[in-house]
Structure 1
Amino acid sequence: MSYLVLARKYRPRSFTEMVGQDHVVQALTNALSTQRLHHAYLFTGTRGVGKTTVSRILAKSLNCQGPDGQGGITATPCGVCQACRDIDSGRFVDYTELDAASNRGVDEVQTLLEQAVYKPVQGRFKVFMIDEVHMLTNTAFNAMLKTLEEPPEYLKFVLATTDPQKVPVTVLSRCLQFNLRPMAPETVREHLEKVLATEGVQADAQSLRLLARAARGSMRDALSLTDQAIAFGGGGLHEAQVRQMLGSVDRSYVYRLIGALAEGDGRSVVETSEALRQNGLNAASTLEEMSTVLQRMAVVQVVGGGDDADPDAQEIERLAQAMPADETQLLYSICLQGRADLGLAPDEYAALTMVLLRLLAFKPAAGDSAQKKTLATAPRPVEARAELAVSPPVAASARPSAVPPPPAAVPAASPAPSAAAADPVVVQPWEEVPAGHVLPVRESEPPEPPAAPVQVRNPAVARMEPAQAAHEVVAVPVRTSQESRVDVAQGGGDLQPTEEGDFWFATVQSLIDSDAIAAMVRELAMQAQLIGRDTDQWLLRVERESLNQPSTRERLTSALRAAGHAVELAVELGRVTDNPARRVRAAAQARQLGAEKIILEDPLVQALMQDFGAKIVPGSIKPL
């Protein structure tokens, strides 16, 4: 008697035997129970998740006759009637499976559709199952569209594909689509335990975990690998043999590598990598196993704890405590990128060693400079956001003449400007303060001419001794462009608030909040200024003639009447000084200025600008 592989022997024959697709099973079960049946179904998902299996179970549910031959449509086919047994064995005349990968032309589809005109011979419904439907040609899709949209009442279509993006939308719109998800490793492992218990095969827990991970969400792949592992192990499943069969790396090597990286032990990293070479273990598999362990370490570092039933949980928790969280994230990214780079190297083991040593190259030194520690521990402002481009501190006398220093107010040794310098800038003198003390930021005001004004040369040609700069440069005055200032009291720009403007702004805002106006009507209301109000007429003024359209004006009038203002609108052309749009823009400008002020007056920002020549990237400050 020939051997039947596990993937076929344990193929589910009813919805109750389906594993890992509860959302699809529930939907189809309810549809069959209430007999709210669609004429076309599309099942999508990766290989080995049950698309063909669901199709056959659905066909049995539609055609089941019951053990006594009196059954009807049911969500629990009996499996013993003639229709159920014939569908399971693949000889039911009213159930047709078409492989679109090898029958993708219009002629094959037309031959299939010619059978649609005939009623079922044995069953209650004809069921056409087209597998890998995305492989059909465009003409084949077009040939089946009409029948797919309005099939006879006795015909059901079941389509299956691994790539739904290639199925035309005209087909998708005619089908109920169900996405069969890849199965979780734990779900696969539990099912393998049941299958092996039925088969009487001994297996340890770690070997089943390896097989479940190697299946990558496919139950068929898991059962096929289990078949191979049973043959490889001589009737049993053992971790060492399964690892050897899959080419997987022993986790002890992975733990040793991560531990050495956490301690900064480069010698141990190289020795372990050489041991992997000598044992012929796969470099890509090593990085894959490391990525899995690092992902679990990151979860432990954030959430804490682990699965006590997992034998690796204790070791992973130890490594999570040994390696900082930021290094864990960095090493995870390096491992993922390293897998893509392995194929570019002439020797994959040398490439593996370089990937592992990359973390040590980027690993922060144990004794960082005081400057880095200060920047890392300094509090950051939370009221607003800003990007600061910080350059390393360089003494003024050491800067090359071609590179200008940060634009700070530096007292010059000589007041006479050079030939290439810009016009001298007069700076308001500050009070005497101890060296290193940071002065508070002052609003720029027109300075009174001092008795002896201090002139500053162009920063590109200014020269100063480092010791002198350390004592004399004690603050960085922040200047704000006068053109960008907006007087909040006046609303900004040429806005001149009026009493009628207050009323019109509140009215328009209420119309917008209630979705009473939109598009051009909303634009007319936002750009118009209310000039005057009478008992039955309001006068509006706009600057653009394109806004004064009869239809737009009538729709705005209707919206006002619906809001309780029984008036007629008259619109004139002219200069506008107060409208809702200007008020909204002025409020936004005021918020922007407030955010900029918070950033510019922050002590940390001032310290960065003074000590490191930092600059605020234009446009990077946004109000929250």
Structure 2
Amino acid sequence: MSYQVLARKWRPHTFHELVGQEHVQRALVNALDQGRLHHAYLFTGTRGVGKTTLARILAKCLNCTAKGDDDSGVTSTPCGQCENCRSIDDGRFVDLLEVDAASRTKVEDTRELLDNVQYAPTQGRYKVYLIDEVHMLSTHSFNALLKTLEEPPPHVKFLLATTDPQKLPVTVLSRCLQFTLKNMPPERIVEHLSKVLEVEGVPFDESALWLLGKAADGSMRDAMSLTDQAIAFGQGQVRQGDVAAMLGTLDQRHVLTLLEALAEVDAARVLSEVASLAEQGPDFAGVLDDLLGVLHRLAVAQMVPGALDNGHGDREVLLTLASRFTAEDVQLYYQIGLQGRGDMDQAPEPRTALEMTLLRMLAFRPQGVPKPAQTPLPMTGDAVPEKAPEPAAESTPATSQSAPPSQEPASGAGAAGAPDALPHASPMQARTEESQDTLSSSAPAGPGTPTSVDTSDPSAAENTRSASELPPPWEALPDDMASDQAAQPADSQQGAEAATWEDAEEDAMAAVSDAREAGSPSSPHVPEPEHEPSMAPATPEPVAPGTSASASLASPSAADEDEGAQPPEPPDASSRAAESVPAPSHTEADARLNQAAWLGLFEQLGLGGLTRNLAAHCVVEQDDGDQLDLRLAPSQSAMNAEVHVKRIQQALADAGVNRKVRIEVGEIPETVETPRGQSERIATERHAVAVEALKADPHIQKLQSTFGARLVETSVEPRQNPDSA
């Protein structure tokens, strides 16, 4: 006896042997049991899902003689033993006319077929016309079939099957009871193949069956045919290596290895895995497609673990791997992979495109590259300084004065030349460090900065130089400017008469700074901060959150002091630069930080980028002298990472505060001001001062009275660096 292929040998003979398609099985079984039979059925679906098999089973149900020869003999469970059932299984039942519409497309063939419709069945209960690939019929053939299809004789049933129902005329669709068969999921295919191979006595690997189930692409017949081929290829066995070699597909383990390297942020391992893949000559575009598919499943595993499918038999592996990625990483990697997939056609070679896509994933992680590039080639695994021998995924460089400004830009009074370094920051740093400019305004003025006075006092204005020529409060005066100011007579009115609205704005802001430094007891809005005496030299006097800029300017005691005070003899530029940032003493290092000290120390840390943004949203919760506990607002919890904590800890150590830093997420009371909140408050005060200065400017008032001009307050921006004008 000749060998019969598995696809034919294991073809279902009853509805209960049918694999999958439960929705079609249930409808047909109920219709047969209740006697509610339609005269035309249309089965649609992709190849190998059971369209023709369902039609033959239905033909057996209509003609089975196990329960008699009358109409009540129609059953949903054909016996398979009677003459009619055996004839249908063997393909020799005279009342079952199977027509291949792909080879009989002419209208003459259809008319010849319909000439015998009026005659009663010869052997069975019903005459069944099974037309396969019915969409191949011509338009004239459909027109010739319409009338008979709508009102056939009672002993005739039409069973139509097609893989492309869109090509059928709507007139045909409306005359049929349509059933759409679904594609077979890999789980169902693997389950069925396991049973078949166990009965056949063929040894197999479950991983090999998953490869076959994926390659079948939803078709059970294709899966059975591929299994036949795998048995022959493996000499009677179905093994994972043989199936992978036969199909020429990429082993899923290579994709998982690539993802493990991405999870470890190991660029060297990523390139090594791509090199091992290149030895097998794979389709690199297919590799990226598989990688995107796994990233999608990782995202599903992170959001809804129960919804993760086991389409490749690796559900547990993916659940473990998903815990090693953040949700942001997975989403970013998927987006970069899609972009890289579209760029493959323009790349010099597919392997280069794949490598660049994987390296781009590492370079643009939300937390940045763990180790800053110390050579022109990023992600090369170069060693970090000796004091930080952590692994590559956790190591962070210590913040030092030797770091280039593009990596860790200094701000405020924490480093000399900070205003000059800020304009050279990259565009990416300018976007991510949104608090860089505003926080820098809270730095205390150096001892060499001349005292500014209220612009409303003409006598005080005599002691000041044009504000447009003065440097910002955090920068020391040039030697020539310092000597000019020292030699300027007290009765000179030239500066006040020639001052513009820009001068008034700068003088007003200087007055706010002086009021904050002086801490005048007559001003009820400037509370004395509660801090230990040892931290007093490093802690500026912050203005209370409720204190407005106008209230600070209107303080009578401050005005009196400014009128009677003579400008101090300014030291030379070198001494001013040395005194602008007092070096932390041993007493300061041993003192415990409170919130006021944290606000004053923040600008001296020299933090930048995401690390600065993270620290700016923290408040001091506890300091026991050994460990500093910071509380982070819940809205900023996504930035909390070990790499930033280590940078903050190193910056504190450089400032003379040796602490172990721990950041916990928690609610921050509205009464407690963070460094970010302080910078925003100061920016608001600067804006208010600038608006008031504009409103008091005689030129603006003249424009308003003459032309009816209106000041748009939202467009007013205080100048950050007067020297840049």
Provide the TM-score with structure 2 as the length reference.
0.52
Deviations along 1:496-519, one digit per CA (max 9) or x if unpaired, are xxxxxxxxxxxxxxxxxxxxxxxx
For 2:136, give the aligned amino acid: M
Quickly say closer, same or farther: Cα 1:122–1:335, change in 2 above 3 A. farther
Q: Within 5 Å, give how 1:120-131 maps onto structure 2.
A: 120-131=121-132
Which whole-Å CA distance do the structure 1 matches of 2:345 and 2:119 have between them? Answer: 56
Instruction: Report if the CA contact (8 A) 2:687-2:718 is conserved.
Output: no
Which whole-Å CA distance do the structure 1 matches of 2:120 and 2:296 have between them? Answer: 56
The structural deviation recorded for 1:340 is 6.2
SS of structure 1 residue aligned to 2:323: helix
Deviations along 1:370-418, one digit per CA (max 9) or x if unpaired, are 853769xxxxxxxxxxxxxxxxxxxxxxxxxxxxxxxxxxx97599xxx
Quote the residue 2:100 is aligned against.
99
SS of structure 2 residue aligned to 1:119: coil
Instruction: Report if the CA contact (8 A) 1:248-1:286 is conserved.
Output: no
SS of structure 2 residue aligned to 1:130: strand
Quote the residue 1:182 is aligned against.
183
1:353 matches 2:355: yes
1:372 matches 2:432: yes
Deviations along 1:541-560, one digit per CA (max 9) or x if unpaired, are xxxxxxxxxxxxxxxxxxxx
**Bigger shift: residues 142-151 or 333-342:** 333-342
The structural deviation recorded for 1:452 is 7.5
Which whole-Å CA distance do the structure 1 matches of 2:550 and 2:106 have between them? Answer: 89
For 2:720, give the aligned amino acid: A
Quickly say closer, same or farther: Cα 1:436–1:345, change in 2 above 3 A. closer
Which whole-Å CA distance do the structure 2 matches of 1:223 and 1:164 have between them? Answer: 25
For 1:84, give the aligned amino acid: C
Which whole-Å CA distance do the structure 1 matches of 2:323 and 2:102 have between them? Answer: 52
Instruction: Report if the CA contact (8 A) 2:63-2:84 is conserved.
Output: yes
Deviations along 1:430-478, one digit per CA (max 9) or x if unpaired, are 967874127999xxxxxx999875457999xx999843689xxxxxxxx
Which whole-Å CA distance do the structure 2 matches of 1:464 and 1:308 have between them? Answer: 58
The structural deviation recorded for 1:279 is 2.2
The structural deviation recorded for 1:366 is 4.7
Quote the residue 1:6 is aligned against.
6
Quote the residue 2:60 is aligned against.
60
Quote the residue 2:140 is aligned against.
139
Quote the residue 1:601 is aligned against.
none
For 1:45, give the aligned amino acid: G
The structural deviation recorded for 1:317 is 3.0
Q: Within 5 Å, give how 1:364-443 maps onto structure 2.
A: 364=366, 365-366=368-369, 369=429, 372=432, 435-437=682-684
Which whole-Å CA distance do the structure 2 matches of 1:100 and 1:280 have between them? Answer: 42
Which whole-Å CA distance do the structure 1 matches of 2:58 and 2:84 have between them? Answer: 12
Quote the residue 2:382 is aligned against.
none
Deviations along 1:203-237, one digit per CA (max 9) or x if unpaired, are 12211122112212111111111111111111111
Instruction: Report if the CA contact (8 A) 1:125-1:154 is conserved.
Output: yes
The structural deviation recorded for 1:268 is 2.5
The number of residues matched between the two structures is: 417
The structural deviation recorded for 1:322 is 2.3
Deviations along 1:526-583, one digit per CA (max 9) or x if unpaired, are xxxxxxxxxxxxxxxxxxxxxxxxxxxxxxxxxxxxxxxxxxxxxxxxxxxxxxxxxx
Quote the residue 2:50 is aligned against.
50
SS of structure 1 residue aligned to 2:178: strand
Quote the residue 1:510 is aligned against.
none
Quickly say closer, same or farther: Cα 1:467–1:176, change in 2 above 3 A. same
SS of structure 2 residue aligned to 1:116: coil
Quote the residue 2:198 is aligned against.
197
The structural deviation recorded for 1:264 is 3.6
Instruction: Report if the CA contact (8 A) 2:211-2:312 is conserved.
Output: no
Unaligned runs of 5+ in 1: 376-410, 416-429, 442-447, 471-624
Identity %: 50
1:326 matches 2:328: yes
Instruction: Report if the CA contact (8 A) 1:67-1:80 is conserved.
Output: no
Which whole-Å CA distance do the structure 1 matches of 2:176 and 2:685 have between them? Answer: 70
The structural deviation recorded for 1:303 is 2.4
For 1:82, give the aligned amino acid: E
Quickly say closer, same or farther: Cα 1:452–1:172, change in 2 above 3 A. same
1:235 matches 2:295: no
Quote the residue 1:421 is aligned against.
none
Which whole-Å CA distance do the structure 2 matches of 1:132 and 1:333 have between them? Answer: 41
For 1:372, give the aligned amino acid: T
The structural deviation recorded for 1:292 is 3.5
Which whole-Å CA distance do the structure 2 matches of 1:341 and 1:120 have between them? Answer: 63
Which whole-Å CA distance do the structure 1 matches of 2:32 and 2:687 have between them? Answer: 76
Which whole-Å CA distance do the structure 2 matches of 1:147 and 1:346 have between them? Answer: 61
Unaligned runs of 5+ in 2: 371-427, 436-499, 505-548, 553-680, 689-694, 704-708
Which whole-Å CA distance do the structure 1 matches of 2:11 and 2:66 have between them? Answer: 21
Quote the residue 1:611 is aligned against.
none
Instruction: Report if the CA contact (8 A) 2:298-2:322 is conserved.
Output: yes
Q: Within 5 Å, give how 1:539-618 maps onto structure 2.
A: none
Quickly say closer, same or farther: Cα 1:373–1:86, change in 2 above 3 A. farther
**Bigger shift: residues 240-249 or 338-347:** 338-347
The structural deviation recorded for 1:106 is 1.3
1:32 matches 2:279: no
Q: Within 5 Å, give how 1:496-507 maps onto structure 2.
A: none
The structural deviation recorded for 1:193 is 0.9
Deviations along 1:253-273, one digit per CA (max 9) or x if unpaired, are 212211222344333322221
Which whole-Å CA distance do the structure 1 matches of 2:686 and 2:156 have between them? Answer: 84
Instruction: Report if the CA contact (8 A) 1:412-1:463 is conserved.
Output: no
For 1:153, give the aligned amino acid: P
What's the RMSD between the two structures over aligned residues?
Answer: 3.8
Quote the residue 1:225 is aligned against.
226
Quote the residue 1:166 is aligned against.
167
Which whole-Å CA distance do the structure 2 matches of 1:264 and 1:293 have between them? Answer: 17
Q: Within 5 Å, give how 1:285-324 maps onto structure 2.
A: 285-304=286-305, 312-324=314-326
The structural deviation recorded for 1:313 is 4.1
For 2:319, give the aligned amino acid: E
Quote the residue 1:111 is aligned against.
112
Which whole-Å CA distance do the structure 1 matches of 2:124 and 2:348 have between them? Answer: 62
Greater radius of gyration (CA) = 2
Deviations along 1:265-316, one digit per CA (max 9) or x if unpaired, are 3333222212111122332442343234223311221124779999744542
For 1:171, give the aligned amino acid: V
Quickly say closer, same or farther: Cα 1:309–1:294, change in 2 above 3 A. closer
SS of structure 1 residue aligned to 2:116: helix
Instruction: Report if the CA contact (8 A) 1:44-1:179 is conserved.
Output: yes
Which whole-Å CA distance do the structure 2 matches of 1:182 and 1:201 have between them? Answer: 26
Instruction: Report if the CA contact (8 A) 1:334-1:355 is conserved.
Output: yes
Which whole-Å CA distance do the structure 1 matches of 2:223 and 2:35 have between them? Answer: 35
Instruction: Report if the CA contact (8 A) 2:205-2:238 is conserved.
Output: yes
Instruction: Report if the CA contact (8 A) 1:413-1:464 is conserved.
Output: no
Provide the TM-score with structure 1 as the length reference.
0.60
Quickly say closer, same or farther: Cα 1:83–1:285, change in 2 above 3 A. same
Quote the residue 1:16 is aligned against.
16
SS of structure 2 residue aligned to 1:157: strand
Quickly say closer, same or farther: Cα 1:176–1:347, change in 2 above 3 A. same
